[in-house]
């Protein structure tokens, strides 16, 4: 992709290099300049991305859908999008190819979960060579990798490939193993939290990067590592809206947050109400270990609520769907009291986080949920793989699947004596009736002393 974008002639001096003809380093090297952006330069992705967006803006009037796709749905050289119908997909691809061809860009390697869409492309345009020999009428489509996540095209589900390379049982090896699980949407957040907790415990004990794992921690790590293999059984539906968009009556986002002494996190679900049924799916999740510095549970709960508010802003911007309503759920009455407070003043930690929450959400959107119905509880405590697959993490709590959602009506209040509330001291001053001016002179026994008090000393 980088080689398709040329460098201005005045800027080519920055891309000079030496070249020996026929690899003969004993001869005098020749000096060359790159005319196109090259691999390895930090500027190349940004320049190529800018070129794509500039090309889209130049053709926006003629191809508005294609221009919007190029601007919003391209990640360097990969474009990902969902559309409502086969016809819309084929039309969009044709328009995007026309726009790219005007910039002398070759768009290819297409893949779709619809066989009709794939059949509309020539063999040479399909993703990967193995698709060229696949009988689209009978054979199963191969599993693709999309931005680091495995996509089963036939079942339209995401899955995870686990590569258990032999790594030393040290702090360095554990970090490498946990970080190798690429999970940008947080589908595995409760499970990965357990691995991060082991890392944190090693840090707290001051264990070096290449020191062996202590015997008391090793059983936890071995259990987590054996559980990691079971992730290959996990399949997550890609599609969030199963219905024909014309049949959808209401689209809602529900954000849950929770915290414990082990960690804190949140999860967001899309709830789609159609004419005869309700669907609810996990959109994104987050799980973080609790900080090593001791923090109270109410503060951690409030921090998790801040994460929910931030995720809400991101989803509203990224999801190309009309969101009719948003709900925020927490099982902390204290946090709800902080968010709904209008009179009292808090210490800096709470005040800053309450302000961030109220900048992007309305206090009326926040509700109480029982702990046993809060799926974010899994993100704050962690789950094994089997527990994760059988939990409400991917589907949300049962009440989201009801036709009508009953929300609590009471407004939580701040408890008396809450340590986060600033104490206010009121001072009252009472003035007594002053004596007459002349009577003050009676308090002095010497004339010089009276003069010094009234007019100041001359010394």
Question: What is the model's pLDDT at position 356?
Answer: 96
Lowest mean pLDDT among 173-182, 278-287, 322-331: 173-182
pLDDT digits (tens, 9 = 90+) for 230-254: 888 899 988 887 767 778 889 999 9
Do 328 and 380 touch, CB atoms closer than 8 A? no
Contact 109, 126 (CB under 8 A): yes
DSSP per-residue string spanning 394-438: TT--GGGGSSSPPPP-----PPTT-TTBPP-------PPPPPPHH
How large is the average pLDDT for residues 346-358?
94
Lowest mean pLDDT among 272-286, 291-305, 320-334, 445-459: 445-459
Residues 373-392, mean pLDDT to the nearest whole number: 95
Residue 459 in this model has a pLDDT that exceeds 60 = no
Domain range list for the chain: 2-107, 143-238, 239-401
**Could you give the maximum distance between any two Cα atoms of the chain, in Å?**
120
Give the 3-state secondary structure of residue 77. Answer: coil
pLDDT class for 424, splitting at 50, 70, 90?
Answer: confident
Least confident of 27-31, 49-53, 105-109, 370-374: 105-109
Share of residues in the chain with pLDDT > 70 (%): 92
Q: Is the pLDDT of residue 140 over 60?
A: no
Mean pLDDT of the chain: 88
Helix (H) or strand (E) holding 58: helix 44-58
Q: Residue 395 has what pLDDT?
A: 93
Would you give the distance in Å from CA 360 to the centre of its chain?
16
pLDDT score at 129: 44
pLDDT at 130: 43
The confidence band for 84, taking pLDDT boundaries of 50, 70 and 90, is confident
Percent of the chain with pLDDT over 90: 57
> In the prediction, which pLDDT does 132 show?
46
Q: pLDDT value at position 273? A: 92
Structure tokens at 14: 């920055």
Q: Which of 175, 161, 169 is nearest to 233 (CA)?
A: 161
Sign of the Cα pseudo-torsion (235, 238, 241, 246, in order):
negative
Please say whether the beta carbons of 228 and 222 come within 8 A.
no
> Residue 149 — pLDDT band, cuts 50, 70, 90?
confident
pLDDT value at 405 more than 70: yes
Q: Is the pLDDT of residue 325 over 80?
A: yes
Residue 31 pLDDT exceeds 80: yes
Is the pLDDT reported for residue 138 higher than 50?
no
What is the predicted pLDDT for the residue at 232?
Answer: 86
pLDDT at 450: 80
Q: Which of 125-129, 219-223, 268-272, 410-414 has the lowest mean pLDDT?
A: 125-129
Identify which has the larger pLDDT, 378 or 152: 378
Cβ distance 273 to 249 under 8 Å? yes
- Would you list the DSSP string of 212-244? BPPTTTHHHHHHHHHHHGGGGG--EE--S--S-
Mean pLDDT over 439-448 rounds to 77
User: What is the model's pLDDT at position 457?
Assistant: 61
239-401, which class in CATH? alpha beta
Helices 218-228 & 171-179 angle (0-180, nearest 10): 30
Is pLDDT of 343 > 50?
yes
Its pTM stands at 0.83
- Report whether 312 contacts 268 (CB < 8 A): yes
């Amino acid at each position: 992709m980088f080689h398709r974008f040329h460098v201005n002639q005045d800027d080519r001096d920055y891309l000079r290099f030496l070249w020996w003809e026929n690899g003969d380093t004993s001869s005098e090297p020749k000096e060359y300049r790159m005319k196109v952006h090259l691999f390895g330069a930090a500027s190349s992705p940004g320049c190529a991305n800018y070129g794509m967006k500039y090309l889209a803006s130049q053709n926006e009037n003629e191809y508005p859908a294609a221009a919007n796709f190029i601007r919003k749905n391209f990640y360097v050289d990969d474009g990902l999008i969902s559309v409502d119908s086969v016809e819309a997909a084929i039309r969009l691809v044709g328009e995007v190819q026309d726009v790219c061809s005007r910039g002398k860009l070759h768009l290819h390697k297409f893949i779709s979960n619809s066989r009709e869409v794939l059949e509309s492309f020539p063999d040479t345009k399909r993703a990967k060579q193995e698709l060229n020999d696949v009988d689209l009428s009978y054979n199963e489509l191969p599993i693709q990798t999309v931005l680091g996540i495995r996509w089963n095209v036939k079942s339209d589900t995401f899955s995870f490939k686990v590569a258990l390379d032999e790594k030393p049982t040290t702090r360095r090896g554990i970090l490498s193993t946990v970080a190798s699980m690429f999970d940008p949407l947080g589908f595995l957040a409760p499970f990965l939290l357990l691995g991060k907790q082991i890392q944190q415990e090693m840090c707290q004990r001051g264990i070096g990067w290449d020191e062996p794992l202590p015997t008391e921690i090793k059983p936890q790590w071995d259990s987590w590592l054996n559980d990691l293999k079971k992730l290959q059984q996990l399949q997550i539906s890609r599609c969030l809206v199963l219905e024909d968009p014309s049949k959808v009556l209401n689209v809602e986002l529900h954000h849950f947050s929770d915290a414990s002494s082990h960690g804190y996190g949140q999860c967001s679900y899309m709830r789609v109400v159609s004419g005869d049924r309700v669907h609810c799916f996990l959109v994104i999740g987050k799980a973080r270990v609790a900080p090593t510095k001791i923090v109270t549970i109410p503060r951690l709960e409030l921090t998790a609520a801040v994460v929910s508010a931030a995720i809400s802003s991101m989803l509203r911007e990224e999801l190309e769907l009309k969101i009719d309503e948003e709900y925020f759920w927490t099982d902390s009455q204290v946090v709800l009291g902080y968010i709904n407070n209008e009179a009292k003043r808090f210490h800096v930690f709470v005040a800053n986080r309450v302000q961030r929450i109220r900048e992007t959400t309305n206090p009326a959107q926040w509700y109480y949920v029982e702990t046993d119905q809060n799926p974010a509880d899994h993100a704050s405590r962690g789950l094994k793989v089997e527990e994760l697959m059988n939990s409400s993490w991917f589907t949300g709590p049962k009440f989201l699947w009801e036709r009508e959602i009953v929300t609590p009506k009471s407004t939580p209040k701040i408890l008396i004596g809450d340590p986060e509330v600033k104490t206010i001291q009121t001072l009252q001053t009472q003035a007594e009736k002053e004596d007459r001016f002349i009577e003050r002179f009676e308090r002095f026994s010497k004339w010089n002393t009276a003069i010094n008090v009234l007019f100041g000393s001359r010394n």
